[in-house]
Amino acid sequence: MGSGKNNWNAFGCHVSEDLLLTTAERVVGLGLRDLGYQYVVLDDCWQDVNGRDQNGRLQPEPSKFPRGLNFLSDYLHSLGLKYGMYSSAGEMTCARFEGSLDHEAEDAQSFASWGIDLLKYDSCYHMGRIGTPQISFNRFKAMSDALVDTGRPILLNLCNWGEDYVHTWGMSIANSWRVTGDIYDSFTRPDDLCGCDTSISDPFCIAPGTHCSVLFILNKVAAFADRSIPGGWSDLDMLEVGQGGMTDEEYKAHFALWAAMKSPLFLGNDLRDMTASAFSIINNPAILALNQDPHGRSITRVRREVDGVAKDEWGIGETHVWSGYLQNGDEVVILLNAGAADMEMKATLAEIFVSFGPGGSAPHVKSDWSVHDLWAHRMPHKTAAAIVDAISDDERAAIYKNANWYNSTETPYAEGLRNGDPRLFGEKIGVIEAGGTLKAEVKSHAARVFRLRRIQKPGELFKEKRHDRMAKDEL
């Protein structure tokens, strides 16, 4: 699934041609396109308030988009970007404009004719067509089939908020599927508008809702994080980095976990008014390389602790250990401290590699591993500020060149990883000996992100023990 920019979190219904054009120019000018942020998505409220035209076709609001939607797509494509749009599998969109339910064929043809590359497909005003996986599957499959029938490659991003076990069928018809209600700009704060608990099937859940915290979303997806597969991924919703409601450490943790879980990375902040600290989070190539790793699988949680962890003002405090396999044999490990106090966290190699065999049976446990800190080479604040504040694109390009920053347009992440580009591997900070333990100080509401690299001994032959299911999926 691609990454890019979506206007909803920062602007809501205040969309226009000018907003899309200036956002696209900012994506390119800030160098974000060359880090992999390729899509600019026009969310809800783009439609004419009068609904469909006399031929039953969707139409844009002329006062907002005077030159039409083909002008937008042509302009974005000329910048080397891709164009995303929005509709809902309901009689209306969430903002109460015309929806696509029972109009899938004609709407898909309209989207294709406008040159879109991605459709975010919501679930508001679904006319009661929910309640079982089959009912929801059929409702969304109608648009999936209609997009295929257009003959234009269009990514489908389902947004039914995790209802009706979408994690069990979303991969059959879409490139990504939302797993919870809408995110909001908080790390742990609970909110009644995020109405469901963290179980897979909550019989008392009346609405997936909005105002879901980063921690809530992590706890919700943990039970089925392994369902993300190459070509189809769980969508944890847009990024809140730079919106202002979280600390720098919270934003770093949020960004790294979304990346390592292979969620689509869609920036939700206003790129035209972004701080240097926010910019230096979203432009970290060592973290982005986790998201774009060719293996294409999410990290999974191997331990969660609640007891003995300092609680915050809402009575929340817990720690997590997440880990996951990478294409070149490396392992990513994230130590998350969602408690109210700094603490030392530990994870044994037996835990880290439990997916390859429980009880320390994984052959990986018998090897030594070098530990690489993936935030060690975060762009210096002065450099980030110079790029954000630069007057011209040429000035920004010169700063990037002097910083020797990674460019994924020139060298795709798969190639950079294969070639061992040091900019994608962080800084080596230590070694874990065979059978040993990873230890790190982790600040409150923060995460440490490590890439473990196996140290091969002279003459050693290492045979990886892989999941049968994993091996089959890669054939």
Tell me how far apart the alpha carbons of residues 128 and 139 are, in angstroms, rounded to a whole number: 11
Whether 122 is catalytic is: yes
Residue tagged active-site, from 43, 117, 122, 373: 122
Task: Output the CA–CA distances (angstroms, integers) from residue 300 to 50, 236, 297, 366, 425, in the order listed.
Answer: 47, 14, 9, 22, 20
Exposure string for 185-195, b = 16+ CB within 10 A, e = fewer: bbbbbebeebb
> What are the structure tokens assigned to 433, written together?
């000996």
Residue tagged active-site, from 107, 117, 164, 182: 182
User: Which amino acids are annotated catalytic?
Assistant: 122, 182
